[in-house]
């Protein structure tokens, strides 16, 4: 099996666009959570989110592809922009590569349609007797037709499709839709495609955006979002803290350039980290609640360590899933203890969701990028807002201030609705 290096990192996140701005925000403990600006949330039960403001992917993609931006949904725009940032960061001259040896895997969650716009539009068309499948009226009213490619803004595979077209990637192309594990799994699938020789370069990551009234109501009904209104927005996401009451929804994307290791070395590429192992499991417990004993999460972590050939005592840092929900944070703590035993007291963990919120299908990819940057810089971002110790969450979560230290192997974990579990192992180079 061939070794796999990370040679490019592109991030679009609420606390920074671009690898450097994002990482500076993480290390400094800067929160990107704030009042919702993308719609009028004044009468909505949820009024805060981790939004990416005023993002335009056009500067980061080839000139000839910029006209396609108008047919992209919001998540796809984040994804193609992150891919452009990652390709530029890698130094790969993409036009000189064999396109059939470059592939794409992107993760995402539920891609929201603008039902607030669509439903009354169709109702009006039916009332007027003008409805048929070819002549939907324009959302603005009048007699104009609906934009013919409207549906393509909302298909889950569009982020992967646009990334592939923008950079002429003609190799393997997959879209992963495994809830909050999707971005992590995309990197894991890319690892295996290169390791077994199906591709030489993979653009892997996740892109998601679901900050709209309907989606926020849906998550509120599930009881997963923070509803505490007596704290400033930047203090609402507080993983592992005793006063946590749910996650803060966010959006964004991250793409990693994965490359066959010897090839990367031969061209003199900067290598951020080596991806060593990927593990996946399923709880088979509940569609909404994780197994409280962490057995499924532990199986995914062990599988990743086994594939990496790494003993659990060699792991020095975990970029935790850490959602800021009561059940997830307690479960993740239990899973770590189940795998690491006595070493659980020595390993450091932190959750960057405390700063950027939970971007669902993109979250694992953004956290994989953070893990790679941690191993590259040997700096580990904090879990901010961790001020009230929880007896159930009693490990070292790097509270409030970043740390430096020598770590060879790191782990990134993700756990999602339905019982999905995933883990990645990376090595410092």
- Could you give the CA distance from residue 429 to residue 427 in angstroms, rounded to a whole number? 6
Catalytic residue among 169, 204, 321, 393: 321
Q: Which of 26, 111, 50 is nearest to 361 (CA)?
A: 111
Residue 273 Cα to chain centre, angstroms: 18
Task: List, as one string, the DSSP characters of 55-68.
Answer: ---GGGS-GGGGGG
137: left (phi over 0), alpha (psi -120 to 50) or beta: beta
Three-state SS at 325: coil
H or E element at residue 263: helix 261-266
Catalytic residue among 180, 204, 376, 393: 180
Q: Please, what is the end-to-end C-alpha distance for the chain in angstroms?
A: 18
Burial 255-285 (b: 16+ CB within 10 A, else e): bbbbbbbebbeeeebebbbbbbbbbbbebeb
Q: Is 180 a catalytic residue?
A: yes
- Could you give the CA distance from residue 6 to residue 215 in angstroms, rounded to a whole number? 34
Cα radius of gyration rounded to whole Å, the chain = 21
Pairing mode of beta strands 409-416, 315-319: parallel
**Cβ neighbours, 10 Å, residue 392:** 14
Environment class of 67 (CB within 10 Å of its CB; exposed 0-12, middle 13-18, buried 19+): exposed
User: Which residue spans within 14-123 are E strands per DSSP?
Assistant: 16-17, 34-35, 48-49, 102-107
Q: Which of 86, 55, 177, 160 is nearest to 369 (CA)?
A: 86
Catalytic residue among 162, 204, 358, 393: 358
Q: Is 358 a catalytic residue?
A: yes
Backbone angles phi, psi at 377, to 5 degrees: -95, -15
Contact assessment for residue 301 and residue 422, using Cβ atoms and an 8 Å cutoff: no
Contact assessment for residue 384 and residue 336, using Cβ atoms and an 8 Å cutoff: no
Which residues are annotated as catalytic? Answer: 180, 321, 358
């Amino acid at each position: 099996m061939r070794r796999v290096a990370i040679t490019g990192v592109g991030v679009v996140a609420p606390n920074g666009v671009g690898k450097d701005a994002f990482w500076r925000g993480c290390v400094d403990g800067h929160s990107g959570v704030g009042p919702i600006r993308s719609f009028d949330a004044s009468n909505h039960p949820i009024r805060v989110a981790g939004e990416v403001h005023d993002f335009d992917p056009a500067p980061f993609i080839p000139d000839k592809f910029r006209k396609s931006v108008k047919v992209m949904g919001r998540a796809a725009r984040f994804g193609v922009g992150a891919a452009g940032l990652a390709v530029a960061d890698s130094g790969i001259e993409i036009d000189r590569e064999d396109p059939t040896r470059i592939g794409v895997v992107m993760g995402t969650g539920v891609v929201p349609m603008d039902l607030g716009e669509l439903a009354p539009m169709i109702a009006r068309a039916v009332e007027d007797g003008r409805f048929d499948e070819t002549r939907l009226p324009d959302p603005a009213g009048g007699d104009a037709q609906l934009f013919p490619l409207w549906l393509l803004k909302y298909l889950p595979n569009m982020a992967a499709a646009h990334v592939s077209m923008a950079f002429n990637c003609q190799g393997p192309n997959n879209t992963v839709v495994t809830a909050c594990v999707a971005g992590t799994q995309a990197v894991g699938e890319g690892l295996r495609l290169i390791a077994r020789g199906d591709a030489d370069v993979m653009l892997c990551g996740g892109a998601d955006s679901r900050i709209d009234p309907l989606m926020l109501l849906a998550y509120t009904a599930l009881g997963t979002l923070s509803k505490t209104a007596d704290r400033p927005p930047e203090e609402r996401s507080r993983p592992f803290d005793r006063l946590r009451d749910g996650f803060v929804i966010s959006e964004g994307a991250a793409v990693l350039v994965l490359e066959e290791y010897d090839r990367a070395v031969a061209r003199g590429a900067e290598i951020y980290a080596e991806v060593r192992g990927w593990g996946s499991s399923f709880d088979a417990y509940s569609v909404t609640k994780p197994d409280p004993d962490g057995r499924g999460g532990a199986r995914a972590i062990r599988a990743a360590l086994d594939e990496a050939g790494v003993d659990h005592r060699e792991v020095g840092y975990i970029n935790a899933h850490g959602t800021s929900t009561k059940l997830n944070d307690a479960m993740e703590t239990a899973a770590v203890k189940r795998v690491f035993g006595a070493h659980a007291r020595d390993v450091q963990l932190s959750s960057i969701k405390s700063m950027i919120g939970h971007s669902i299908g993109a979250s694992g990819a953004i956290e994989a990028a953070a893990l790679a940057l941690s191993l590259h810089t040997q700096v580990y971002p904090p879990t901010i807002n961790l001020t009230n110790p929880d007896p159930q969450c009693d490990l070292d979560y790097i509270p409030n201030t970043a740390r430096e230290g020598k770590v060879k192997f790191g782990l990134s974990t993700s756990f999602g609705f339905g019982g999905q579990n995933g883990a990645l192992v990376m090595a410092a180079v």
